Structure 1
Amino acid sequence: MSDPVPGLVQRETFRGQPCIRLSARNGDTALLSLHGAQVLSWVAQGRERLYLSPDAVLDGHAAIRGGIPLCFPQFNQRGPLPKHGFARTLPWLHMPAGGSDALACVCLELTDNPATRAWWPERFAAHLAVSLGDGSLRVQLAVRHTGKADDRPWNFTTALHTYLRVDDVERTLLDGLDGCARWDALTDARGVQQGPVRFAGEYDSVFSAPAAPLHLHDGAHHLQITQSASLCNTVVWNPGAGLSARLADLPPDGYRSMLCVEAAQIDQPVALAPGQQWQGWQELRVGPNG
């Protein structure tokens, strides 16, 4: 096998679905599905950093369990649309994107069409850009109101629903949320996070996003997680044993190998007038010890 070409972007098929593979100059790779504009894999320093359920359904219709699903234009069930919106269950178009010796980049586009208007009448263009560097992965969403000047404004909520692979979630520690406002979705309790986040059983909380990066400590492995100021929430989720056993597309013990750390904008919906645009991103970077 030849050495990877810096900034290489290739089309391929993964489990029957059209995908794009990015390769960085150091051999890191990322795999992006055109279905849902969803990153399915990120291998950095020889280790898979994202969790893709072995029971995930890849049929070109269903939501894919794992990787980095895109929630748009609705987060969860906070509105009348299907759970987490429709963007993750529709095909996206591959658009030209710039790159460099240091980065491999790809951009996908979804615009309003009969399928989207069956759920949501708004005129929009969404672009998802993925940039792969040596030890880093950035996913950026840009949304534009493409209606006429006299059209009404509309709003949306969104999240980059990142599934991170861990060796054992119960031995994993997430640092950097100390002092952040927290809503516990399981108990409907509000408070302030004290110290690092640890996991024992089902966990589902929405935080005010910190200004500084988060640090995921997974045994000897370390990942830095940063998000743009335009995404004002951080969602942390693990289904625990009970819910994991009830999810058809997740193995009963799947919860042990994953932790969702999501860059989100849900407490305050984004409002766009015709011609206006919003963008937000999340960046993952391998720590000094890998």
Structure 2
Amino acid sequence: MNSTTDTHQGYPGWRWSLPNGDSVFVAQQGAQVLSWQAKGRERLFLSSASIADGATAIRGGIPVCFPQFNQRGNLPKHGFARNLEWHCVPERSQGSEKVFELVANSSTLAIWPFQFRALLSVLLTESDLKVQLQVENLGPQTLSFTGALHTYLAVKHLDAVSLHGQAQQAEWDAVRDTHQSCSGVLKFDAEFDRVYDIEAQAQPTWTLQEGPNALQIAQSASWGQSVVWNPGAEKCSQLKDMPKDAYQGMLCVEAARVTSSIQVQPAQTWTGWQSFTV
């Protein structure tokens, strides 16, 4: 395995690769995976208009949303973890896996009064990527949070894509604020923002189908929910860090906890992961 410090679209971080050419890049900001190359193709979307100033949230890759999902609370949108600098932990990193750490500090405690340690592990194997978040409660009180691995997948054209899985699971359409059961086959021709309850399955799986090509997406049941999102043409045109037609080249499939919080008792650790296989 080859590993180097590098930059990707203006973001400093770490890149490592396998002998077969598969590679991954993780930014220091947010420990955010910005690139995953597998079988000669980039599998993650990163907006060409993303603002690389070291503070603004990065539009694309796999943002770590913690300790708040979206604006469902008093913290900054999607929490603070994606905006802060994480550090690589050499003693925990080995082979084709690297581990990154964020620990509570004065800036986090000022807005969220919990002592915590977050570890993000990124494991690259042939045709496969696994990203795992661990949250350790270092304080004396129960730690409560929502969040996500807000994965932006790259697609060649959204019109040719379908997402399969979660048939009959509870579905909340956040655009229309309606509740129903998932049809099991999702197509995308307008703004799409839906939350799926997946607690009934031991290892929830989606299949992203793009013509003859398939990407398998799995996540731990500990997340409890999945989110599928695309801004559509109108909303995309309003996003300053997205080209107007960029919605056609991406689809977010997220491992998430949105509508209820994850509880971590003192001295305990919660673990949630998401994986991708081509």
Indicate the TM-score class for this superposition, using the shorter chain for normalisation: over 0.9
Identify the match of residue 94 of structure 2 among 87, 99, 113. Answer: 99
- Residues 1-290 of structure 1 aligned to structure 2 (within 5 Å): 6=1, 8-96=2-90, 97-100=92-95, 104-147=96-139, 151-209=140-198, 210=201, 211-286=203-278
Helix, strand or coil at the partner of 1:230: helix
Report how many residues are paired: 274
Deviates more, 1:216-225 or 1:69-78: 216-225
Alpha-carbon distance in 2 for matches of 1:118, 1:24: 41
CA contact (8 A) 2:62 2:151 kept: yes
**Contact 2:171 2:180 (8 Å CA) reproduced:** yes
SS of the aligned residue for 2:240 comes to coil
| Segment drifting more, 206-215 vs 196-205 | 206-215
Structure 2 unaligned residues grouped into runs of 5+: none
The answer to which of 207-216 and 257-266 deviates more is 207-216
- For 1:278 and 1:25, locate their aligned partners in 2 and report how far apart those are by CA, in whole Å: 33
Q: What is the aligned-residue RMSD (CA, Å)?
A: 1.2
Instruction: Give the whole-Å Cα distance in 2 for the aligned partners of 1:76 and 1:16.
Output: 25
What is the deviation of 1:221? 1.9
Q: 8 Å contact 2:49–2:243 — kept in the other structure?
A: yes
Contact 1:9 1:105 survives alignment (8 Å): no
Question: What's 1:3 paired with?
Answer: none
Shift of 1:194: 1.4
How far apart, CA to CA, are the structure 1 residues paired with 2:19 and 2:271? 27
Provide the TM-score with structure 1 as the length reference: 0.92
User: What do the CA deviations read for 1:132-179 (whole angstroms, capped 9, x no partner)?
Assistant: 0100000000000111xxx22120011000000001112200001211
After superposition, the Cα gap between the structure-2 partners of 1:240 and 1:9, relative to the gap in structure 1 and judged at 3 Å, is same
1: CA distance between counterparts of 2:205 and 2:179? 23
Give the drift of 1:212. Answer: 4.1
Render the CA deviation track for 1:203-259: whole Å, top value 9, x for unaligned. 000001254421000123210000011111010000000000000000000000000
Change over 3 Å in CA distance of 1:269–1:204 after alignment to 2 = same
TM-score (ref. length: structure 2): 0.96
Alpha-carbon distance between aligned partners in 2 of 1:181 and 1:238, rounded to the nearest angstrom: 19
Deviation for aligned residue 1:15? 4.0
Q: CA deviation at 1:195?
A: 3.1
1:84-137 alpha-carbon deviations (Å, 9 max, x no partner): 00000000011023434xxx1111100011111121111000000000010000
| Aligned-residue offset at 1:267 | 2.6
Query: Could you report, residue by residue, the CA deviation over 1:39-93 in whole angstroms, capped at 9, with x for unpaired residues?
Result: 0000101000000000011111000000000100000111110100000000001
Q: Which runs of 4+ in 1 moved over 4 A?
A: none
Q: Distance in 2 between matches of 1:17 and 1:262?
A: 23
Asked if the contact 1:224/1:285 (under 8 Å) is kept, the reply is yes
